[in-house]
Each structure stands twice: as structure tokens, then as C-alpha cells.
Amino acid sequence: MTTTAPDVRLRTTTNLSFAAYVHMNGLKLSAAHTHQAPRGREFRFTFEDPGEVWDQLNLSFANSEAQRHDQAVRALKQLCRGQQK
């Protein structure tokens, strides 16, 4: 179990791409879990955000190549799933 300082804010996301992005940008991963959700398996990642940069990273991610890459991968997956039916 990871312990954090009392003044460190913990942030959680289920978005795998955003989790990778914030981790690559220096936030420390505190916990990672998967669980069964109605749409399938869902990831849940918790990060320590001592500098309160989460919102800034969220905006940065939305405008980044990483976000466009993620959207393209999702579109290709949907295309392949549609061809399997």
C-alpha cells in the first residue's frame, strides 16, 4: 500500500491514455485497478498531484497529439469490430 503526505491531492481517471500521459508528465502513480463494468473491463488509476497540475495536464492532453492518436486508435478498433459482425 502506498502512503501519501496528508496535503497531497489524489486524482483518479479511468482513461488509459490520459493516465499514461499524466504519468509521462511526472505524476506519481499511487494505485491501479481493473474491475468489471457494464461495458467490459474498466481501468482505474490514481495519481498523486502535489503541485495541483491535474487540470492543466487535462487541457494539455486534450490539445496534444496523444489525444488525436487515441481517437484514431479507437476509430480503427470500431471499424474492425464492425467488420467482424
Q: What is the pLDDT of residues 24-70, one digit of tens each?
A: 999 999 999 998 888 888 999 999 999 999 999 999 999 999 889 98
Looking at residue 1, its pLDDT comes to: 47
**Residues of the domain holding 73:** 9-84
Please state the rounded mean pLDDT for residues 73-79.
Answer: 90
Element (H, E) at 72: helix 65-84
Model pTM? 0.78
Is the predicted pLDDT of residue 6 greater than 80, yes or no?
no
With respect to residue 64, please indicate whether it lies within any of the assigned structural domains.
yes
pLDDT band at 13 (very low <50, low <70, confident <90, very high): very high
| Gap between the Cα atoms of 28 and 46, Å rounded | 9
| CATH classification at residue 27 | 3.30.70
Q: What's the total number of domains in the chain?
A: 1
| Gap between the Cα atoms of 41 and 51, Å rounded | 31
With respect to residue 44, please indicate whether it lies within any of the assigned structural domains.
yes
